[in-house]
Chains A and B, each alone.
Chain A
Amino acid sequence: MDIASYFGNLFERYSIYYNTSKDVVILNENVDIMAEFKDVHGRTFLSSKDVIDSYEINEICYVKRAKKVDILSLSNYTDFLKKAVDVYVQPKRGHMCTYITGVLVTENHLEDDLISSIKKFKYSKSFFFSLHGWCEIRLLVINPKKEQIITNKPGKKVIKFYNFR
């Protein structure tokens, strides 16, 4: 699959469930697709406004096209994702978790040491002993040409969403 078709498909898929925007600059980083999702679960009593308890799960996805992905560019991108955690995650009562999903799409060959770095990447943060929730970074590097998806451990949970249908 060529990269343009993959981006088109991915944007359509995001549009069903996420609030999406294209070509945005976030924290001085150019991002091709940004998608946000908020899921609120709760129980109500008399009316839908009378919430007894609730919790929210958020996901923010940043998809970026990269000409070449190497250890350095990957490190820069993960630094950007960590910064996004500090700026955009809002821990509070009722916040359960926020996933920051960073997706790099490239047509270049992915070296073995890079693949190993992606797989080993791990970042999560608890807020107030998890009572105000936590956040986690999912990292995916995708080569549509070779139909190859490399992810870190948390990223495996969403791998189906990024397949090459």
Chain B
Amino acid sequence: MNSLVLLIVGVALFFIAYVTYGGFLAKSWGIDPTKKTPANTLRDDVDYCPTNPSVLLGHHFSSIAGAGPITGPILAAAFGWIPVYLWIVIGSIFFGGVHDWGSLFASVRHGGKSIGEIIRENLGQKAKMLFNVYAWLALVLVVSAFTDICAGTFAFDPAKGDLTGARAGTASVLFIVLSMAFGYFVYRKGAKLGISSAIGVALLFFCIFLGYSFPVLKLSKLAWDIILIIYIFAASTLPVWLLLQPRDYLCSYLLYAMLIGGVIGIFIVRPEIVIAGSNGFTIGEGAKAQYLFPMLFVTVACGAISGFHSLVGSGTTSKQIANEKDSKLIGYGGMLIEGVVAILALISVAAFKGATGTPAGIFASGISTLMNSFGIPIEIGKVFVILAFSAFALTSLDTATRIGRYVFQEFFDKSDGTAAKSAASNMYVATAVTVGASCLLLLYGYAKIWPIFGAANQLLAGLSLLALTVWFANKGQNYKMTMIPMIFMFAVTLSALVILIRNFFSAGNILLGCMAIVLFALAIVLIYTATNVMKNNKVKNLGA
């Protein structure tokens, strides 16, 4: 099979689905272009502000895109490229797209409230606390997994002498310094955005050149772990305008350049897929055994469906939707674009023999080989792609740390919901606890953490789909399009957690095993609570 065919077929299927299934969903849900959205009715030009759909798509996409759509398909390629490809395409169209768009649409119809608030309104304060515990554990997993992946990618091994990691690490540190300088000059000194962007992007590529030419940071994985922990602590407590906003802004240029470079490369090179189509239902043995069902569906998370899309993305996007019809482009279209990124990641591992190393390294190796077809030297291309990957991972890291810190602080709120003044609710203490918990998990490495993170993330998606199903059912609308993915996601995630618990304990990974048990128990309690609420609502409706 030629990778160009995979890409073209994937994009074509996404396009057809966008027009047909998207049209069907719009009709079923009653998307009404004449209905005023919260951005118009509650307009305050602070949170609620009608925004151009193409601008909003960019914002939404950069919010939901992290390292997930790249890491998942690369790790899951061990099952063979066919199941991964099918899950990315089918998952994006029928699961992730429906989940993202449904969450966004429900939020729009609920006055811009986020899906979490819709859950809280329906399930009560106790359920919200349980949900917070669940979310905090999931976030700790995200922080440890992404920190480990980045550290492993930047690490220099003197025995191998490969400078790629040191080059990318040096370029990443320079990129952080550049971002801070960009933020300082644009915000503090009032430099014009257009000129600053042109200079910023030029300097960004200069950072790659410097990192490539002078890879001075030849550090071990442990050293990078420590540096990254210090970085995320600082990034999640520093003012957002100083580092995060300028970094995310400059990072978007990296994403566009990487996507365009990868797609052009596939068109020029047209590499054949060299890995096996399928490796059967079971790979590995004993405690290391991985089953196609459910592990494939928790390993490829963000590239097919991700619960965090509904939490982080729709929290702000729904307040800026100018017209209900735009929600299709932003919610459904945004997820399908992420599906394209996941296909690119799959091709990068499937089309090149002997791809080994961290997911970032494999992805960089594949994409840089493709970009080499139009003159970009492979080694420079690698540094560029790793820089782009790590920038996404760092974005996810800092957002996860911030949310984790917030959720931790909220545990200590007073019963009336007001913030308590105690050492435990202090911002720095809460950040330190969240980061500290992640450090403990770092000992296990990202490969062991990723499946449990995937299960937690997918379970969040199941819970969001549950909220949507209840909402559609209460409105008397067709809810099969959310109920079927919901049942599937619950089946996948709960069975994945059971397998993980068994594997973790038999391998002696007590901490991860206990975490999986807690996640499983919390999920069961939340599902039980939701089912009871649904039943009670049904009885009330019948009584009325």
Q: A50-B406, A52-B402, A96-B187 are in contact. Are A44 and B316 (CB under 8 A)?
A: yes
Q: Which of B46, B117, B187, B242 contacts A46 (CB 8 A)?
A: B117
Contacting pair B188 A130 (CB below 8 A):
yes
Contacting pair B117 A48 (CB below 8 A):
yes
Is B165 an interface position by the 8 A CB rule?
Answer: no
Is B285 an interface position by the 8 A CB rule?
Answer: no
Is B114 an interface position by the 8 A CB rule?
Answer: yes
Is A17 an interface position by the 8 A CB rule?
Answer: yes
Q: A17-B45, A55-B241 are in contact. Are A46 and B128 (CB under 8 A)?
A: yes
Is B271 an interface position by the 8 A CB rule?
Answer: no
Is A47 an interface position by the 8 A CB rule?
Answer: yes
In the complex, chain B residues whose CB is within 8 Å of the CB of A96: 187, 239, 241
A46 to B47, CA, bound (A): 15
Chain A CB count within 10 A is highest, among B132, B315, B316, for B315
In the complex, chain A residues whose CB is within 8 Å of the CB of B238: 131
Chain A CB count within 10 A is highest, among B188, B244, B402, for B188
Contacting pair B116 A46 (CB below 8 A):
yes
Contacting pair A48 B113 (CB below 8 A):
yes
A147 to B242, CA, bound (A): 39
CB distance from B234 to the nearest CB of A (A): 11
Residue in chain B with minimal CB distance to A47: B117
A41 to B46, CA, bound (A): 7
Interface of B is mostly: helix
Is A154 an interface position by the 8 A CB rule?
Answer: yes
CB distance from B475 to the nearest CB of A (A): 22
CB distance from B530 to the nearest CB of A (A): 16
A43 to B47, CA, bound (A): 9
Contacting pair A45 B406 (CB below 8 A):
yes
Contacting pair B315 A45 (CB below 8 A):
yes
In the complex, chain B residues whose CB is within 8 Å of the CB of A40: 46-47
Mark interface residues in B103-132 (1 if CB within 8 Å of A CB, else 0). Answer: 000000000111011001000000010011
A49 to B416, CA, bound (A): 13
A134 to B417, CA, bound (A): 32
Is A157 an interface position by the 8 A CB rule?
Answer: yes
Contacting pair A48 B120 (CB below 8 A):
no
A134 to B238, CA, bound (A): 15
Contacting pair B407 A45 (CB below 8 A):
yes
What is the interface residue range for chain B against chain A?
20 to 34
Residue in chain A with minimal CB distance to B132: A46
Contacting pair B120 A47 (CB below 8 A):
yes
Chain B residues 454 to 486 lying within 8 A of chain A, measured CB to CB, are: none
In the complex, chain A residues whose CB is within 8 Å of the CB of B242: 130-131
Is A112 an interface position by the 8 A CB rule?
Answer: no
Contacting pair B410 A134 (CB below 8 A):
no
A4 to B128, CA, bound (A): 57
Mark interface residues in A113-148 (1 if CB within 8 Å of B CB, else 0). Answer: 000000000000000001101100000000000000
Is A53 an interface position by the 8 A CB rule?
Answer: yes
A55 to B240, CA, bound (A): 8
Q: Which of B114, B190, B399, B403 contacts A48 (CB 8 A)?
A: B114
Is B84 an interface position by the 8 A CB rule?
Answer: no
Mark interface residues in A68-106 (1 if CB within 8 Å of B CB, else 0). Answer: 000000000000000000000000011011000000000
A39 to B315, CA, bound (A): 18
Is B360 an interface position by the 8 A CB rule?
Answer: no
Residue in chain A with minimal CB distance to B63: A43
Residue in chain A with minimal CB distance to B409: A50
Contacting pair B239 A39 (CB below 8 A):
no
CB distance from B364 to the nearest CB of A (A): 29
A97 to B188, CA, bound (A): 9
Contacting pair B399 A55 (CB below 8 A):
no
Mark interface residues in B129-147 (1 if CB within 8 Å of A CB, else 0). Answer: 0011000000000000000
Contacting pair A45 B311 (CB below 8 A):
yes
A40 to B320, CA, bound (A): 15
In the complex, chain B residues whose CB is within 8 Å of the CB of A46: 114, 116-117, 120, 128, 131-132, 311
Mark interface residues in B318-338 (1 if CB within 8 Å of A CB, else 0). Answer: 000000000000000000000
CB distance from A148 to the nearest CB of B (A): 23
A55 to B315, CA, bound (A): 17
In the complex, chain A residues whose CB is within 8 Å of the CB of B112: 48
A40 to B46, CA, bound (A): 6
A133 to B410, CA, bound (A): 26
Please name the 7 residue pairs, one residue from A and one from B, whose CB atoms are nearest each other, closest first: A46-B116, A47-B117, A52-B402, A44-B315, A53-B240, A45-B403, A52-B406
16 A–B contacts, CB within 8 A, in A order = A41-B46, A43-B312, A45-B312, A45-B403, A46-B132, A46-B311, A50-B116, A50-B410, A52-B403, A55-B241, A93-B239, A130-B239, A131-B238, A131-B242, A134-B188, A157-B190
Known contacts A43-B316, A55-B241, then 10 further A-B pairs from the complex at CB < 8 Å, ordered by chain A residue = A40-B46, A45-B312, A47-B117, A48-B47, A48-B113, A51-B406, A52-B403, A53-B244, A96-B187, A134-B188
- Where the two chains meet, the residues of B that have a C-beta atom closer than 8 Å to any C-beta of A are 45-47, 112-114, 116-117, 120, 128, 131-132, 184, 187-188, 190, 238-242, 244, 311-312, 315-316, 399, 402-403, 406-407, 410, 417
- Where the two chains meet, the residues of A that have a C-beta atom closer than 8 Å to any C-beta of B are 17, 39-55, 93-94, 96-97, 130-131, 133-134, 154, 157
